[in-house]
């Protein structure tokens, strides 16, 4: 078969089109899976934040500092890796599942940036050795921000699963390319 033959050129075009199509499909599978996993995590975080915000909205107009504090800490400390922080509108920490003596630069930066948030926001941060997906929710009462609820859910399992998925998809892609040739 010569390089200028129609058969060779058609085979080459088919191979390139197949390789590119397969790559697009496998990359799409990765991103759809990633989006689905993070969407489920965000739903869990949102549910926790909404429960906490309901407690605050039923209070007298400001974030309660004593009774719910112990309730939140007890509930969230029983969930491995979960993170909870409640701040006032000015960013001072009212309660946190993270001990005050372990507060680090990541938390300080997060609290500082949270005071500028006007709608629920999700970010990823590394806190110690744990990767967290954090939901930052403003507590608004009568149109005024009275504080913020920050809930974190560990995502180490998700990141590990996504890394394994990438490895699997690369092997699938290479397998298809080898069998195509």
Helix (H) or strand (E) holding 155: none
**pLDDT surpasses 90 at 36:** yes
- Return the pLDDT at 163: 96
Residue 137 to residue 146: CA distance in whole angstroms: 11
- Report how far residue 152's alpha carbon sits from residue 127's, in angstroms, rounded to the nearest whole number: 10
Indicate the pLDDT class of residue 66, thresholds 50, 70 and 90. very low
Dihedral angle over CA of 170, 176, 177, 181, nearest 10:
160
pLDDT reading at 73 higher than 60? no
How does pLDDT run across 85-116, given as a tens digit for each residue? 888 888 777 777 776 545 577 777 877 777 77
Handedness of CA 135, 138, 141, 143 (dihedral sign): negative
Full DSSP string of 90-108: TS-EEEESS-GGG--HHHH
Residue indicated by tokens 């969407």? 39
Q: How far apart are CA 154 and CA 36, in angstroms?
A: 16
How much is the pTM?
Answer: 0.77
């Amino acid at each position: 078969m010569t390089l200028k033959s129609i058969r060779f050129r058609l085979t080459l075009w088919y191979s390139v089109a197949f390789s590119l199509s397969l790559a697009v499909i496998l990359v799409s599978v990765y991103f759809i899976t990633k989006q689905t996993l993070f969407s489920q995590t965000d739903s869990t975080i949102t549910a926790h934040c909404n429960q906490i915000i309901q407690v605050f909205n039923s209070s007298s107009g400001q974030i309660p500092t004593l009774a719910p504090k112990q309730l939140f800490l007890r509930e969230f400390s029983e969930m491995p890796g979960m993170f909870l922080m409640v701040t006032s509108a000015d960013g001072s920490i009212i309660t946190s599942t993270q001990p005050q003596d372990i507060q680090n630069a990541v938390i300080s930066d997060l609290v500082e940036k949270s005071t500028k948030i006007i709608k629920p926001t999700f970010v990823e941060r590394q806190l110690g050795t744990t990767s967290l997906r954090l939901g930052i929710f403003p507590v608004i009462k009568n149109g005024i921000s009275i504080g913020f609820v920050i809930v974190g859910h560990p995502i180490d399992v998700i990141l590990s699963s996504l890394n394994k998925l990438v490895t699997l998809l690369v092997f699938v892609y290479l397998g298809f390319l080898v069998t195509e040739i």
